[in-house]
Structure 1
Amino acid sequence: MTANNDTSSLSIYLLAGVATTTCSFNECRKKLDKLFRDDGIEPQIHVLFPYGDASRNVVRQVLEVRSDLSNRMTAGRIGGQRALHTIKQNKNNKRMLLIGHSGGGAAAYQAAKMMEEYGEDNDIRIVQVGSPKTPIDPRLQERVSYFHSVDGMGKLNDPISRIGSWGGWSAAGRAMPKWNRLKYAPGYVEGIPTVGGHADYFRHTKPYTDEQSICNLDKTIDSVRGWLKGWL
């Protein structure tokens, strides 16, 4: 299928993490479709389960997510490979937005990184929501954003977001190398004051609303769109 270069068209992939039900992205998909169409952009939205859905063995899913948390060429990248296979089957736009929740964020990045390694000419952005920390290749850092839940004091309160590392050793000239905990971090990181826990970023009904009656889904999508401003 020939890639579409029309800037009014955009392929969006929503990638689920471990033990996710098949209906988890329903409201998110509807909201994204409406918002982008209101902006004059025709979205083609696909929901992917790179590790399987809630009916699959959870232990196997967790082990597969681990294969996507490394930036090494020899890493298994199981979820990333599955996501990439589906993306290639549906690919009809060079402009792509990959939004991954939890382990799905790792799979989204790995799929995008493999496309970059294969020399594919794509205008792509990756959004990780409540994901484990995956080291991001410096060539892709500015294309990757990372959103995590915070409490009323602005402190991280999603335990999954504590998994993994963005750190690496940095040295300048003859100075002793120093550990830089953000060396391989995404280009943009933001905390979202959501209600609930790790599984609730895309909830849209009570009790997942704050005192202003703003739901988690609206907060998450508004944060993502804020980062995308200027690209769309």
Structure 2
Amino acid sequence: MHSRIGQPANNISVYLLAGVATAPNFMEEFREVLGERLTEAQWEVRHTELLFPYGDWSRSLVQQLREIGRDVYPLISWRKSLLTAIGGRNALAAIQATYPMDAEGGTLLLIGHSGGGNAAVHAGHALVHEGLVTPERLRIVQIGSPKCRVPEALRASTLYLAAHGDPVTLLGGWGGWERRSNGLLRWNPRKYAPGVIARIPIVGKHPDYFRRWSPYLDAQGVPNLERTMEKLWGWLHSGEPDEKGLTD
């Protein structure tokens, strides 16, 4: 299978979207390692940036939780909420300020942790909806995120990664009603799920996907950051799921 990030010019821009009450440098090491690996693989990394669609840890935690709650459980229809979600709008504004919206911009990779993964889907949908980016140029990775419905146009471009026992990944949902061949409606819990879903075997809990040092090493001495990177990197270059069966 061809690389999922293949573009004629080999250009790529990477945005990492943090979740709630995140330290300013929380995903910085992951950003640096990914940038180095892309460069070694002969990619022209045009831009990398860490975004805080709900603010960092200096902003009110209550306010951030309130905003993410509205984005995960919108009061309006989920399709309308895709363009009104607070995190998505904030991320969209930051991306528009630095990403070339012409073909020279190459691949746009959005990687979101926790609520940042939801903001990545919402921002990606807005970019496609407004004709600023095509789905073929967009890649979205959600890591330890609440489940949110992914529009059909983005499903093939979206990867969802979760560790066993991460309580945040139990929030939200992908479900929707669909009509059977006999005309009856049935509930499909994965109707709007990301195209690829996989587990990450990490040591620790929800905040620990990007840890690189002891005690966040598995029995083989591999750190969480590398396990997370392995899943992401394999998907970017093959599109093949590493495993199936993530529990809803």
Return the TM-score normalized by structure 1: 0.91
Counterpart of 1:54? Answer: 57
Identity %: 40
Q: Which moved more, 1:74-83 or 1:179-188?
A: 74-83
Matching residue of 2:130: 118
After superposition, the C-alpha distances for 1:138-171 in whole angstroms (9 at most, x for unaligned) are 1211111100002xxxxxx100000001011121
1:107 corresponds in structure 2 to: 119
From 26, 40, 43, the counterpart of 1:41: 43
Whether the 8 Å contact between 1:50 and 1:83 is mirrored in structure 2 is yes
Q: Look up the match of 2:145.
A: 131
Residue identity in the other structure for 2:163: S
Q: Distance in 1 between the 2:125 and 2:110 partners?
A: 12
Superimposed CA distance per residue, residues 176-195 of structure 1 (whole angstroms, 9 cap, x where no aligned partner):
21111110100000000100
Describe the superposition over 1:170-219 as per-residue Cα deviations: whole angstroms up to 9, x where unpaired: 21233321111110100000000100000000000011000111000000
Q: Does structure 2 retain, via aligned residues, the 8 Å contact 1:136–1:166?
A: yes
Q: Does 1:63 align with 2:71?
A: no
Per-residue Cα deviation, 1:94-139 (whole angstroms, up to 9, x for no partner)? 4100000000000011000011111223310000000000011112
195-204 or 117-126, which moves further after superposition?
A: 117-126
Query: Offset at 1:6?
Result: 5.4
When structure 1 is superposed on structure 2, of 113-122 and 200-209 the one drifting more is 113-122
Paired residues of 2:150 and 2:194 also in contact (CA < 8 A) = yes
The answer to whether the 8 Å contact 1:131/1:161 transfers is yes
Q: Distance in 1 between matches of 2:219 and 2:128?
A: 43
Q: Is the 8 A contact 1:204 1:218 kept in 2?
A: yes
Whole-Å separation in 1 of the counterparts to 2:50 and 2:194: 23
CA, structure 1 residues 166+74, in 2 after alignment: closer, same or farther (shift >3 Å)? closer
How many aligned positions are there? 221
Return the match for 1:72 from 67, 79, 85.
79
Q: Which residue of structure 2 aligns with residue 20 of structure 1? A: 22
Asked if the contact 1:50–1:82 (Cα under 8 Å) also holds between the matched residues in 2, the reply is: yes
**Greater share of helix residues, 1 or 2?**
2
- Is the CA contact 2:160–2:196 (under 8 Å) kept in the aligned structure 1? yes
Alignment pair present for 1:141 and 2:141: no
> Do 1:19 and 1:56's aligned partners in 2 also have CA atoms closer than 8 Å?
yes
Structure 1 unaligned blocks of 5 or more: 151-156
Q: Give the CA deviation at 1:27.
A: 1.1
* Residue 219 (str. 1) matches residue 227 (str. 2): yes
Q: CA deviation at 1:230?
A: 4.1
Give the conservation status (yes or no) of the 8 Å contact 1:7–1:95: no
What RMSD in Å do the two structures reach over aligned CA positions? 1.5
3-state SS of paired residue (1:133):
coil
Secondary structure at the aligned position of 1:68 is classed as: helix
User: 1:158 & 1:27 partners in 2: Cα distance?
Assistant: 22
Is the CA contact 1:68–1:110 (under 8 Å) kept in the aligned structure 2?
no
